[in-house]
């Protein structure tokens, strides 16, 4: 299974350790096309166009999209929208922080499976349950 993992890169650097742990977990279910999301450094050698084209190609190539949507991100929202158009199965994970939840546009979309989690163990349980049926 090819997995496209999506998370806020430029606005979500505080979550890179979490992303890295989720990516490590996802590797037991298949190939994670976007391991760089869990890196603390941002690749500045690619143009915006190259990043866009590569990521859209990876979404097309993927069997499932997993999006960590706690930190709002235009890029993650764009990827989710493209994945919906491509009829990809999409799992969104989010945490409620300081009483703030994720977007109603995400939680209210019937084409997404959205799950709230409070810690990494709960997120891993959700992934295990959801991915064993894919």
134 has pLDDT over 60:
no
**What pLDDT digit, counting tens, does each position of 25-75 carry?**
999 999 999 999 998 887 789 999 999 999 999 999 999 999 999 988 999
> Please, which residues bridge with residue 64 across strands?
3
- Of 15 and 84, which is predicted with more confidence? 84
Query: Alpha-carbon dihedral of residues 81, 87, 93, 97, nearest 10 degrees?
Result: 20
Question: How many structural domains compose the chain?
Answer: 1
Strand 31-32: give its sheet, edge to edge.
31-32, 2-7, 64-68, 90-94, 113-116
pLDDT at residue number 102: 86
Annotated binding site for substrate: 4-10, 19, 79, 103-105
- Of 124 and 99, which is predicted with more confidence? 124
pTM: 0.92
Annotated binding site: 4-10, 19, 79, 103-105
Query: What domain range is 79 assigned to?
Result: 2-131
Mean pLDDT of the chain: 92
The CATH number assigned to the domain holding 12 equals: 3.40.50.450
b/e code 100-119 from CB counts within 10 Å (16+ = b): eebeeebeebeebebbbbee
Average pLDDT over residues 70-86: 95
Kindly give, in sequence order, each residue whose CB lies less than 8 Å from that of residue 27, ignoring residues fewer than 6 positions away: none
Instruction: Report the residue count for the chain.
Output: 134
Q: In which element (H, E) is residue 92 found?
A: strand 90-94
């Amino acid at each position: 299974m090819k997995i496209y993992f999506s998370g806020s890169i430029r606005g979500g650097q505080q979550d890179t350790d979490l992303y890295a742990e989720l990516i490590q977990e996802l590797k037991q279910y298949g190939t994670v096309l976007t391991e760089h999301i869990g890196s603390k450094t941002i690749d500045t050698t690619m143009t915006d166009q190259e990043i866009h084209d590569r990521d859209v190609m990876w979404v097309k190539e993927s069997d499932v999209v997993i999006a960590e949507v706690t930190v709002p991100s235009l890029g993650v929202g764009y990827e989710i929208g493209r994945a919906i158009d491509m009829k990809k199965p999409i799992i969104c994970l989010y945490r409620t922080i300081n009483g703030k939840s994720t977007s109603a546009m995400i939680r209210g979309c019937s084409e997404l499976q959205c799950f709230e989690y409070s810690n990494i163990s709960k997120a891993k349980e959700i992934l295990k349950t959801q991915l064993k049926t894919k």
